[in-house]
Structure formats: C-alpha cells, structure tokens
Structure 1
Amino acid sequence: MLSFNFGGKNSYDDFGILIAKRPDIPSPKRRVSTINIPGRDSNLRFDEKTYEDITLGVECFVKDTQNLGSKLDDIKAWLFGVGESDLIFSFQSDKKYIAQVVNAIDFKQVYRYFSQFPIIFNCRPFKYAVENNMVTLNTSGGDVTNPGSLESEPVISIYGSGGIVLKINEDQITFQDITEKIIMNSVIQDCYDDSGNNLNGKMTGEFLKLKSGGNIIEWSGSVTKVELLPNWRWL
C-alpha cells in the first residue's frame, strides 16, 4: 500500500487516502548561467553550484463515506495547516523531503464510491536521511563517512576554550576566545552558543562541509569533544 507521512501523520492510516501510483521523482535543476560572447565559440558558463526546488505531484483517491464532507475538511486542514514539514514516502522510508503543499485541492468524483484529488508538493532540492544521528568525536583525527551523493552541511558543536582550529580534510576554520562551547551551523551559515548569541566575530574561515565518502576531522587547541549533526543528503 503506497502512502506518505507528512507533518507527523500518515496519509492512509490517518485519512484513508489511496495513492493511484508511485509519483515521478524529478531531479533538481542546477543553476548555471550562460553568457553569449560575440566572436567566441560556445557560451561562457557560470556554475553557482546550487539547485532549484522540485515539484512532486501525487494523485490520490478517498473513498466516499457518510461523513465524506468532514473527512475532506480534515484532509485539507492537515495538508494546509502543516506548512513546511518532512515528507516521507513508504517506498523510500529512510529518506525525506522538506516540503509544503502549494496547490488548491479540488475533489472530483470519478467512480461511484471514490473522489480523486491531486496534491502538489513544493520541495527543497534534496532528499535527506530520516535518521540524522549525532556523531561524537573525542579524539582528533576521526574518520566520518558521508553516505550521501552530495556534500552535507553539518551542524558542529565544539566543546573547548581559547583558540581552536577545526579542520575537515583540507579545509579549516579558526575560532578565538571560546569560553566553553561554540556551534558552527553550515546550513544557515552562522555561529552561536546554546543561548543563540551570535558568535560569528569569533570565527575565521569558510563554513565546513562533509564531502561524499570519507572525511578526516582534526583539531588543535583545548578541545574536549566535537559533536556533529551530519545532515546527509542526496539528489
């Protein structure tokens, strides 16, 4: 039985929604700008190394009941009330999209006992691991393997004090005057403490990422441990 989880609820178990077929999964469009230069063969390309959102369409059915009107109201309240949330399909339960319903939902009776309706999800470009488990490193030089097909943007908590250099493979970032802990969030490109206070002024360098495959994580300075929320992702 095909189904999906969205906003903490299951389409079939909670609402009796039947999915007509497995939805098509498009690849995100890469942002590449081209400039036509007179007198030059081909175009000049500028690759931003970023991707556009994708759209997923799901054709659904719901069985007519005595309380069909109330059921349809509940379905609409669920889909629109959630806003942006995790979207997990039953045919790939270990991956999730970050999605939001963007279409007006029109219910149309197509069989004697069934109403049909489309759901269109606007999704961020990537799939993410459902199990986004924290990785803890107590010694410098640990190896962390990225199972995804893309660089991941981790959230890294560094416990220590004073001046610290954190290195992933050949890239490094420097922190100064750390008192106890600093959090480096590569998703939103911000550094802060547990209270949310901005600590970007204590950081020098580019926000670190984890390449697909093996990654060596090293540090110098007074560090007791490093915690890493990896955010593995796939196209």
Structure 2
Amino acid sequence: MKENKILVFNNKNNLQMGLKVVKLPEIQDSTKSINNIDIEGRDGGLTEFNKYIKDTKQVECDFRGSNPDKIIRWLRGKGPVIFGNRPDRFYDAEINNSVPLSQVIENKLYNFIVQFDCQPFGYLLDGQEIITLTNGTTLLHSKADYKSLPLITIYGTGSCTFNINGRTFTITEIGTSITIDSDIEGCYNGKDNMINGKYPYLDIGENVISWTGTGVTKVDVMPRWRCI
C-alpha cells in the first residue's frame, strides 16, 4: 500500500505550505515506563508497569521555494499533529528542534528533520465529535485501546447522579448546565464544588451510561477516544 505522506500541524498541511514529506514516523505503540524489580533469592525478576511516556516522532522533509519564512513560522511551537500514515488520530505535540533558516534561504532543495515531541496517546478524530444523549445508552469504539477521559456537559436543573459502567459521581446543582472535564479533573466556570466522586473515564469496549435526576434535559459527551 502506498504511504500517504501528509503532515498536518496546527490545522495546516504540508501541501498548503509547499513542503514535501519524505518520510513519516514509524507506526508503533507508545513507550512504556517500567520498573525492574529484583527479588532476592529468586532467578530473573519482575517488571512493573509505571506509565506511558512522551515520544519523539521524526518527519523528514524537502523544501524548494522562495518563501521559507512561512515554513519557519509554521514549524514551531506546539499543537495537534496528524501523520498521514495514521490519518484517523492526532497527537498533542511540541516541535523540539528548529529548522535552520540560513540553509533554506539558499533556495535549493533542502532536506531537514522536524522532531515532534508527542504526548503518549493518539486521539481519534471521531472521538472529538459531541454525542447528545437524552436517555441512557451504551457507547463503544472499535479502535480505542486505552481508557479515555471525556468532556461531559449536563443540562437541566437540580441534582443528578451519573453512572458509567457502575462508577458514579453526583452533581449537587446543575444550575442550567455543568461541564466536567476529566482530562484536567475540573469543572468549567468555577463549579468544581458541585461534583462529588471521582472524575469519569470511558473503558475499552462498551460503556453503559445512565443517570438519575428528573431535572436533566440532555447530556453532551465528547468521548475523546484514545489509543496507545
């Protein structure tokens, strides 16, 4: 299969910028941080998973053009990046090297490497879409392979208890609406004191969602499905 050599960074792609992508990062899982445990008197040892850590993903590019400044301005800072060999997801990334402007100015075909310092999870693009619920339902995604931290907005009045796969949290006062962001473990507009319980997450596979509270009119869920 021919590789789709497209790079999208901060909602602009390399074709718009007059840049040729020569090589994209290898497709691989995120890097694990592990602890190696040596047990006295026992051959071998144990490996304990700690967490997933950031990865540096390299993109090799060629440039030939008369306006290198726009390339320099584009390829700096941080933002979402999509690699063409995994077009269904983006990574939160920061470029950790600089494109040497002096070499690009020569106006010749110039080959260089862009290094994206990527957070460990790929966020599926369709997981950024808002799903509106008026009754309990089951959410699932066939590609998501790690627990996801949703953005949930509950509309209505009064209090409610929200349930995902048997895990519950309570909202003491909706106040027309309340938005719960599990990624930052906070509620918008200073409503953190309105939630009791642990911030919700979505499991791999099926997620049975329900709530109690007669004042709830609808619930918006942005699942933020993610992959290793």
TM-score in terms of structure 1 length: 0.83
Q: How far is 1:162 from its partner?
A: 2.5
Alignment partners' CA distance in 2, 1:233 and 1:3:
21
Matched with 1:12 is 15
> In structure 2, do the counterparts of structure 1 residues 184 and 21 end up closer, same or farther at CA, with 3 Å as the change threshold?
same
Matched, 1:124 2:123: no
Q: Secondary structure at the match of 1:174?
A: strand
The counterpart of 2:221, out of the listed 203, 206, 228, is 228
The counterpart of 2:163, out of the listed 141, 144, 167, is 167
> In structure 2, do the counterparts of structure 1 residues 174 and 24 end up closer, same or farther at CA, with 3 Å as the change threshold?
same
In the TM superposition, what are the counterparts of 1:86-235 in structure 2 within 5 Å?
A: 86-106=80-100, 113-131=108-126, 132-140=128-136, 142-147=137-142, 148-192=144-188, 196-197=189-190, 199-222=191-214, 223-235=216-228
- Residue 113 of structure 2 aligns with an amino acid whose one-letter code is P
Structure 1 residues not aligned, in runs of 5+: none
Tell me if the contact between 2:9 and 2:82 (Cα under 8 Å) persists in the aligned partners. Answer: yes
> In structure 2, do the counterparts of structure 1 residues 204 and 32 end up closer, same or farther at CA, with 3 Å as the change threshold?
farther
- Residue 9 of structure 1 aligns with an amino acid whose one-letter code is K
Query: 37-46 or 170-179, which moves further after superposition?
Result: 37-46
Structure 2 residues not aligned, in runs of 5+: none
Alignment partners' CA distance in 1, 2:118 and 2:16:
23
TM-score in terms of structure 2 length: 0.85
Q: Secondary structure at the match of 1:177?
A: coil
Structure with bigger strand share is 1
> In structure 2, do the counterparts of structure 1 residues 41 and 185 end up closer, same or farther at CA, with 3 Å as the change threshold?
farther
Q: How far is 1:62 from its partner?
A: 1.1
CA RMSD of aligned residues (A): 2.3
When the two structures are aligned, how many residues end up with a matched partner?
Answer: 219
- Residue 160 of structure 1 aligns with an amino acid whose one-letter code is G
- Residue 231 of structure 1 aligns with an amino acid whose one-letter code is R
Alignment partners' CA distance in 1, 2:10 and 2:159:
42
Alignment partners' CA distance in 1, 2:22 and 2:170:
53
The share of aligned pairs that are identical, in percent, is: 31
Alignment partners' CA distance in 1, 2:164 and 2:24:
39
